[in-house]
Structure 1
Amino acid sequence: MIRRFPGGRAIGAAMAAASCLLVLRLAAGRAPAAVKSAAVETPRTTEGHPVLSGVWIGVTGGAVLTAEDAGESIKVTLNARDGTPINFERDNTLLRRRDPNRPLYKPQFWEKVQQLDQNGNTEDPGYSCMPLGVPRMGPPNKIVQTPTEMIFLYQVRNTFRVIPTDGRAHTPDKDLEGTWMGESLGHWEGDTFVIDSVGFSDASWLDIAGYFHSEKMHVIERLRRQGNTLTWDVTVEDPDVLLKPWVMNPRTVRLNPDPKAVLAEDLPCQERDLAHLVTKEHH
């Protein structure tokens, strides 16, 4: 679906494109990753908060995947069957539907969800080089922590979020302009960093299966560090379209121990294929 501008390093371009598609696919069925934290003390700031700064690498997978910590390496095993559901079907239907944890919509909106899902290869904003948005974009790839704000960096499409932690209040609803990321404010609850986000556009999706939201969506993210692992929990509230808040599957990421670790710049995205699609397969 998504084509990238050709670069001087063909291998790098191919890897970047594959990574972009994999992010969209894995978003369909994330589940808790059972990670055993090594006996590493959690570093703290002078204020006593856990240090969240660093480059974080993903330990993600589908509903039947678990991750086993093996020192400096991660071994992924599949409980249900040999192989992996990725590419099990050409249109990834199994991958998108195998996770039972789904947002519960009000009855009058299920037809819209199904219509978006069936036509996802043309309706999904992620396939048109649009931002994935919060919370679909997942946990950050890099965090820069300061006394007054958290800066989240995402490698896919070179995205960033600046989250104030100075105690300010949200902008009044009447003055908010809906955006892909919303207005995010952060604070600490003990050792948990909590991000409260409002003021969204309704253009993004919650997930790949046509899970839309309204402009009244309210997202609460919680990040907890234990040793060199960081757990990201999300609750989505949207009383306009959801019957109840959706508690997403937690995701766990590991700290990259390399002090020189950097994020590779993602290649520019240009959509070239939508006008030429002839089937409804989800790519």
Structure 2
Amino acid sequence: MRLNFVCVVTTAALLPVLGAAQPTNKPANTASVKRTADGHADLSGVWAFGIDLPPGGLKSEVNGAVAIKTVDQSARRPAKTAVPGAMPFTATPSYKPEYLAKVKDLSDHESKTDEVFYCGKPGIPRIGSPRKIVQTPGEVIFFYEDISGDPYRIIPTDGRPHRANGNPSYYGDSVGHWEGDTLVVDVTNFVDSTWFGEDGYFHSDAMHVTERLWRNGENLAYQFTVDDPKVLTAAWTAPPRVIKPSNDPLEESPRCAETDGSRLTNNDHHGQR
């Protein structure tokens, strides 16, 4: 079987989302929330892909028969309607004036400046929501599928603090706790080479990320806040996302082998996330 991407990238698709759903202070309806034995909301399950698959669909050819499958990208896009339990948000982060030119330059030349284009790890929160969640008393495990590798995160929820002597990493050091039926994941200790968003959103080694996950009916709601006092004027809370349950099994990602960078003749965005 041969798989090919059918991708049509437009400038509009790469601009920050300005028409996202408005924030709501209305709490999520918890009456019918499925719960684990310890009483917490059960977030376990397999969830739709968060990676930004080609907007034109996936083309497959098997024994000469061609089929194109429409790709649902909603897991990677802001929710179109208000999400109960979501925090107030803005469409884009606010950088300090001295860094605005850098952000624009990184975004304008994304296919040359973005490590993800060259098989780099996207890091947190750029990788988005997990593909699979395994929830146990005392810890939650996130599994991902990503072309740069298939990372996982083991997030303790037993009250322990961040590791005192951990090495900086792409996915940081995570500890979690529950606020009602919302899992709150506090992430620190990052390397400073990743972006936290698509449009040149670089950060420093002081970045602090807070992820929030909760049930929205049968779906999973995901929202994050990025705080980086070295480069941002204020903490940025992104629009919430709603991720549908999935029956697609997790599969090992193929080896990432970037061969197009040397052939680039313009500044087109890669549009792969």
How would you bin the TM-score normalised by the shorter chain? 0.7 to 0.9
SS at structure 2 position matched to 1:232: strand
- Correspondent of 1:217 among 191, 207, 219: 207
- How is 1:28-47 mapped onto 2 (pairs within 5 angstroms)? 29=17, 31-32=20-21, 41-47=32-38
User: 1:136, CA displacement in angstroms?
Assistant: 0.7
- How is 1:221-260 mapped onto 2 (pairs within 5 angstroms)? 221-256=211-246, 258=247
Specify the code of the residue in structure 2 equivalent to 1:265.
E
In the alignment of these two chains, the number of paired residues is 228
Specify the code of the residue in structure 1 equivalent to 2:153.
R
- How is 1:88-237 mapped onto 2 (pairs within 5 angstroms)? 101-157=91-147, 158-172=150-164, 175-237=165-227
User: Structure 1 residues 38 and 55, CA, compared in 2 at 3 Å: closer, same or farther?
Assistant: farther
Q: Which has the larger displacement, 127-136 or 149-158?
A: 149-158
Question: CA-to-partner distance for each residue in 1:239-260, whole Å, 9 max, x for gaps?
Answer: 000000011110011223x5xx
Specify the code of the residue in structure 2 equivalent to 1:163.
I
8 Å CA contact 2:216–2:242 kept in 1: the answer is no
**Alignment partner, residue 45 of structure 2:** 54
- How is 1:6-21 mapped onto 2 (pairs within 5 angstroms)? 9-11=1-3, 14=4
User: 1:27, CA displacement in angstroms?
Assistant: 9.8
**Alignment partner, residue 271 of structure 1:** 258
User: 1:110, CA displacement in angstroms?
Assistant: 1.1
Specify the code of the residue in structure 2 equivalent to 1:219.
V
SS at structure 1 position matched to 2:262: helix
Distance across 2 between alignment mates of 1:113 and 1:57 = 30
Between the two proteins, what is the percent identity of the paired residues? 39
User: 1:29, CA displacement in angstroms?
Assistant: 4.0
Question: CA-to-partner distance for each residue in 1:154-191, whole Å, 9 max, x for gaps?
Answer: 1223222111112111123xx34221100011111111
Give the aligned CA root-mean-square deviation in angstroms. 2.9
8 Å CA contact 2:111–2:268 kept in 1: the answer is yes
Specify the code of the residue in structure 2 equivalent to 1:242.
L
SS at structure 2 position matched to 1:188: strand
Distance across 2 between alignment mates of 1:181 and 1:32 = 28
User: 1:227, CA displacement in angstroms?
Assistant: 3.0
Structure with a larger share of its residues in strand: 1
Distance across 1 between alignment mates of 2:100 and 2:268 = 20
8 Å CA contact 1:140–1:153 kept in 2: the answer is yes
8 Å CA contact 1:27–1:136 kept in 2: the answer is no
Unaligned runs of 5+ in 2: 50-73, 83-89
8 Å CA contact 1:192–1:222 kept in 2: the answer is yes
Q: What's the TM-score once normalised by structure 1's chain length?
A: 0.72
Distance across 1 between alignment mates of 2:34 and 2:198 = 36
User: Structure 1 residues 61 and 179, CA, compared in 2 at 3 Å: closer, same or farther?
Assistant: closer
**Alignment partner, residue 282 of structure 1:** 269
Distance across 2 between alignment mates of 1:230 and 1:154 = 15
SS at structure 2 position matched to 1:169: coil
Q: What's the TM-score once normalised by structure 2's chain length?
A: 0.75
Q: Which has the larger displacement, 176-185 or 152-161?
A: 152-161
